[in-house]
Amino acid sequence: MELLVYLLLILTSTVGLAFIIERGLALRRSKVFPPAVEAAVESCQSPEDVPMLRRVCEQHNSTMGRLLLLAADHLDWPKAETVNALQTRARHELVRLERGLVVLEIIVGIAPLLGLVGTILGMISVFSDVGKAGLNDAAKLAQGISLILRATLFGLMIAIPSLIFWSYYTKKVETIAVEMETICDEFVSRQYREEAPKA
């Protein structure tokens, strides 16, 4: 039974490490905001520049690129409807960016509990042996307790890095969301500014 707990701890640490690496690669700035897309949206000052932006976004598939393509495709809609479409798509993109973070959150919760289960099972085993053999060998008892506390230590060693990376990535997604909203707002405002005098 104790072996099963240790196997579960190893599996938990492997899954956690895989998601930490995967999210680290997926949330790189160059992956979410490719420099070419940033430069293209910055130079897109009028409707005549939109085809150029569309080409760049199609060449560099990214979160920001997909949002700008949606905005470019809906510029013939009223501004309010374009903004609503962008907000809906942005929510979907944020869900994609947050994928895997829930796994890290679960690992933060279960790793210490698995460690605790391992410790309790070990203590049951050690004290069962003590009950049968008596307290003749205190050194053996101390060694047994030392071994069983390792499960708790392993659980904490898995949970602490997972908590650090989960907090960091969650904050990073929030920052990305704010930046995407700013870029999209500026792009839409530039494209619709000519309509203001008519209104």
* φ/ψ (deg, to 5) at 46: -145, 165
State the Cα–Cα distance between residues 186 and 197, nearest whole angstrom.
18
State the Cα–Cα distance between residues 189 and 10, nearest whole angstrom.
52
For the chain (199 residues), the mean pLDDT of every run of 10, in chain order, is 87 96 95 94 90 94 95 91 94 94 95 92 79 66 77 94 97 96 93 60
| pTM attached to this predicted model | 0.85
148-165 b/e (C-beta count within 10 Å ≥ 16 → b): bebbbebbebbbebbbeb
State the Cα–Cα distance between residues 163 and 156, nearest whole angstrom.
10
